[in-house]
């Protein structure tokens, strides 16, 4: 059945005022027109579409051209798009305007054309680009006869802002002839794939996911297939796919069977299921938390009790008594509970002493804690080492109560201290074939906050699962779940000589489940093996790494890096403690931590472990350079990027003198560790290198 292009255009599902991003391959349509003694007229085709959209809608067509990456000049007025005939028709029209990026430019009609023209992004895919606009403005992607793999650039946008490690930012500089004909030199950047990584390219599963979830649908018009995608709704699915699939595939390339997060993602569930438990330095909430982990995830977790009676002091610190709390509330004269610990356990000042009194508000006010600059948040406050009692409430509520200073309130805190009790912590040891150990530490003393630090607990569990799944383990992993500060001191008291002798590297996991940037706190001199690994991973996982010096410490790196301890321990975070506004308040809740945030945090840890497990020293066997062609190591087909590949290969060989580790070489050549590792594996297969002891 012959459908004319005019009928086709009229049948497209386009609503008035829509923002349409149109990808098309019209060659088949044009061919059918010729068969039927007609002619495809791109202008008429565009007129029908713009008519349907109307003046309050916007039509965007891609006119990408990659010549700029090869050093060719970009001419705003004359450089054609390489992404379909229709875009080039639009380029010639006065009612369309072209955006300015020399690689990823678009030609735009309608309401928002000036907004898009005024974008001055130098990067190709990330924030501030047209791709971001398409998401923010609920655009629909319509693809006419173009397979998903070939047109859905949104995937690169997501990879770009997530900062996946199999892509890196590359800068291109060339001549740029602007709309006035002025010749300029411009730089544009684009994240490109590490070619030697060979990350899977089949996105059909992702597209099927869109179809299944109703985010995309197809329309069949004659022999033409039209696909419609809700761009904004597709983004979380792409994020999920990238973090839980592609990143994991990458690790499998290096012969490591990764923990399959996508099918067995328990991290968010751990945070959710433990959120309401009241944890502190000690007590039954901590026992519950550790037992929950042991029963559900880590059968080999050893739950230990540190007797307070036997250890009244822990190094220079008095060991606090075990504290438990059953109930706490403030009620008014009518018996209405106006503050109730059962609604949110942040309401109680941690380690409060028991009380049962009736007092006027003016007295009670002295025992209240609130945040003047965040009036709807409940602060997290503790008093571990001085006996007090108190409640934490929103500042809004406190101001309201202050209006009646003489009103009487009944205050009850049903808590207890036990000098015969203990401080509970968890320890999991996963053995490797070497004596050296990796320490992973996280803290269990915070109640009802998701990022600080249920995210650390979830990440430590997921890291343990990953370590268990390694087919071969070089190091022994010592994963500990301890109350912050006193728990670290207790653990040191019991293990310091062993830790000092065997700890090769160590990590404190803190605030590692939000969507913010990746960050770390370095050791005091930023000179340990751990520092070097973390710096490398950060550089490749994000273009905005935040590396904090030891002067900004705050978690258990304080104890592990103290002068007489001196362990190589860095703290890993997404947004570091104290650097997000939800920190230590009731707003650090189950919305603040996300599955994607946690997945990224785990990826950060996995990459550190991957380096630890694979970083070795090798020496080239040949005197002079090896003749690579003999081993089939020169690419036989010259394809895009093959020159880069050969250059990387010969550069790596140039540094294989036995005293540079794989990580050293990756740093020297500014390559991702895995990129170097892959080439090392090829050289190893060809018997061109020897492993050296160092």
Task: Identify whether 453 is preceded by a cis peptide bond (ω within 30 of 0).
Answer: yes
Residue 112 or residue 452: which is nearer to Zn ion going by CB? 452
Q: In the bound complex, what is the minimum distance in angstroms from residue 478's beta carbon to Zn ion? A: 22
What length does the chain have?
694
Residue 452 or residue 595: which is nearer to Zn ion going by CB? 452
Site string for Zn ion, 61-90 (x = CB under 5 A): ------------------------------
Asked whether position 556 contacts Zn ion by CB under 5 A, the answer is no
Please report where in the chains the tokens 């273009």 appear, as a residue.
Answer: 543
Q: Tally Cβ neighbours within 10 Å of residue 373.
A: 7
Residue 159 or residue 452: which is nearer to Zn ion going by CB? 452
Helix (H, G, I), strand (E, B) or coil at 431: coil
Q: How far apart are CA 585 and CA 501, in angstroms?
A: 39
Site string for Zn ion, 400-439 (x = CB under 5 A): ----------------------------------------
Q: In the bound complex, what is the minimum distance in angstroms from residue 599's beta carbon to Zn ion? A: 22
Residue 452 or residue 557: which is nearer to Zn ion going by CB? 452
Q: In the bound complex, what is the minimum distance in angstroms from residue 574's beta carbon to Zn ion? A: 14
Residue nearest Zn ion (C-beta atom): 452
Site for Zn ion in 475-534 (CB under 5 A): none
Q: How far apart are CA 58 and CA 511, in angstroms?
A: 41
Site string for Zn ion, 446-465 (x = CB under 5 A): ------x-------------
Count of positions on this chain that bind Zn ion (CB under 5 A): 1
- Collect all residues with Cβ–Cβ distance below 8 Å to 284 and sequence separation of at least 6: 324
Q: In the bound complex, what is the minimum distance in angstroms from residue 367's beta carbon to Zn ion? A: 22
Q: In the bound complex, what is the minimum distance in angstroms from residue 390's beta carbon to Zn ion? A: 18
Q: In the bound complex, what is the minimum distance in angstroms from residue 446's beta carbon to Zn ion? A: 6
Q: What angle do CA 567, 573, 579 make, to 5 degrees?
A: 115
Of 135, 83, 138, which Cα lies nearest the Cα of 105?
A: 83
Phi, psi of 260 (to 5 degrees): -80, 90
Burial of residue 337 (number of CB atoms within 10 Å: 0-12, 13-18, 19+): middle
Q: In the bound complex, what is the minimum distance in angstroms from residue 553's beta carbon to Zn ion? A: 13
DSSP 683: H
Q: How far apart are CA 164 and CA 540, in angstroms?
A: 8
Q: In the bound complex, what is the minimum distance in angstroms from residue 449's beta carbon to Zn ion? A: 7
* Cβ atoms 76, 175 nearer than 8 A: no
Residue 244 or residue 577: which is nearer to Zn ion going by CB? 577
Render 268-288 in DSSP notation, one character per residue: HHHHHHHTTS---SSSHHHHH
Site for Zn ion in 303-342 (CB under 5 A): none
Residue 427 or residue 452: which is nearer to Zn ion going by CB? 452
Residue 450 or residue 537: which is nearer to Zn ion going by CB? 450
- Collect all residues with Cβ–Cβ distance below 8 Å to 58 and sequence separation of at least 6: 19, 20, 108, 109, 110, 111, 112, 113, 116, 137, 139
Residue 46 or residue 346: which is nearer to Zn ion going by CB? 346
Helix (H, G, I), strand (E, B) or coil at 520: strand
Residue 279 or residue 504: which is nearer to Zn ion going by CB? 279
Site for Zn ion in 11-70 (CB under 5 A): none
Q: In the bound complex, what is the minimum distance in angstroms from residue 588's beta carbon to Zn ion? A: 9
* Cβ atoms 377, 394 nearer than 8 A: yes
- Residues lying near Zn ion in the complex (CB under 5 A): 452
């Amino acid at each position: 059945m012959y459908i004319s292009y005019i009928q086709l255009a009229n049948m497209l599902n386009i609503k008035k005022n829509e923002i349409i991003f149109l990808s098309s391959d019209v060659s088949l349509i044009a061919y059918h027109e010729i068969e039927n003694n007609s002619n495809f007229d791109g202008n008429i085709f565009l007129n029908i579409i713009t008519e349907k959209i109307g003046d309050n809608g916007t039509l965007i067509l891609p006119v990408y051209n990659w010549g700029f990456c090869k050093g060719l000049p970009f001419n705003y007025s004359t450089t054609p798009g390489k992404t379909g005939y229709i875009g080039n028709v639009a380029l010639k029209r006065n009612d369309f305007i072209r955006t300015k990026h020399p690689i990823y430019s678009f030609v735009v009609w309608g309401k928002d054309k000036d907004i898009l023209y005024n974008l001055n992004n130098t990067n190709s895919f990330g924030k501030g680009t047209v791709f971001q606009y398409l998401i923010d403005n609920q655009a629909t992607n319509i693809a006419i006869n173009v397979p998903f793999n070939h047109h859905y650039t949104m995937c690169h946008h997501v990879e770009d802002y997530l900062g996946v490690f199999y892509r890196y930012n590359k800068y291109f500089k060339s001549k740029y002839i602007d709309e006035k004909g002025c010749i300029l030199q411009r730089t544009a950047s684009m994240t490109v794939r590490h070619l030697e990584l060979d990350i899977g390219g089949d996105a059909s599963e992702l597209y099927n996911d869109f179809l299944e979830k109703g985010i995309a649908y197809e329309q069949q018009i004659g022999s033409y297939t039209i696909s419609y995608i809700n761009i904004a709704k597709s983004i979380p699915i792409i994020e999920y796919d990238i973090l839980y699939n592609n990143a994991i595939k990458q690790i499998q390339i290096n012969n490591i069977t990764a923990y399959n997060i996508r099918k067995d993602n328990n991290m968010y569930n751990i945070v959710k299921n433990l959120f309401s438990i009241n944890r502190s330095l000690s007590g039954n909430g901590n026992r519950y938390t550790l037992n929950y982990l042991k029963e559900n995830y880590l059968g080999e977790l050893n739950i230990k009790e540190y007797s307070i009676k036997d250890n009244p002091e822990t190094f220079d610190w008095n060991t606090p008594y075990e504290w438990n709390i059953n109930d706490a509330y403030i009620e008014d004269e009518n018996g209405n509970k106006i503050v109730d610990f059962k609604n949110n356990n942040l309401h109680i000042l941690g380690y409060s002493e028991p009380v049962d009194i009736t007092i006027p508000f003016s007295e009670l006010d002295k025992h209240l804690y609130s945040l003047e600059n965040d009036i709807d948040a409940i602060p997290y406050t503790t008093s571990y080492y001085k006996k007090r009692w108190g409640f934490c409430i929103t500042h809004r509520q406190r101001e309201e109560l202050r209006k009646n200073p003489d009103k009487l309130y009944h205050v009850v805190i049903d808590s207890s201290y036990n000098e015969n009790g203990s401080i509970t912590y968890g320890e999991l040891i996963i053995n490797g074939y070497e004596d050296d150990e990796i320490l992973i530490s996280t803290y269990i003393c915070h109640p009802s906050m998701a990022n600080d630090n249920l995210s650390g607990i979830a990440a430590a569990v997921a890291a343990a699962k990953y370590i268990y799944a390694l087919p071969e383990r070089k190091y022994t992993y010592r994963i500990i779940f301890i109350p912050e500060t006193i728990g670290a001191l207790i653990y040191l008291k019991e293990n310091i000589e062993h830790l000092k002798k065997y700890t090769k590297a160590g990590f404190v996991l803190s605030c590692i489940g939000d969507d913010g940037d990746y960050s770390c706190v370095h050791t005091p001199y930023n000179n340990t093996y751990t520092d070097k690994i973390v710096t490398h991973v950060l550089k490749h996982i994000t273009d905005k790494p935040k590396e904090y010096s030891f002067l900004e410490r705050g978690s258990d790196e304080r104890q592990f890096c103290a002068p007489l301890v001196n362990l190589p321990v860095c703290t890993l975070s997404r947004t570091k403690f104290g650097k997000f506004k939800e920190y230590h308040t009731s707003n650090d809740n189950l919305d603040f931590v996300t599955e994607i945030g946690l997945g990224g945090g785990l990826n950060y840890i996995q990459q550190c472990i991957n380096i630890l497990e694979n970083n070795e020293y090798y020496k080239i066997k040949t005197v002079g350079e090896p003749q690579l062609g003999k081993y089939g190591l020169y690419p036989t087909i010259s394809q895009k990027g093959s020159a880069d590949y050969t250059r990387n290969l010969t550069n790596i060989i140039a540094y294989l003198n036995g005293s540079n580790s794989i990580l050293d070489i990756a740093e020297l050549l500014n390559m991702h560790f895995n990129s170097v590792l892959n080439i090392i594996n090829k050289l190893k297969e060809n018997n061109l290198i020897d492993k050296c002891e160092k």
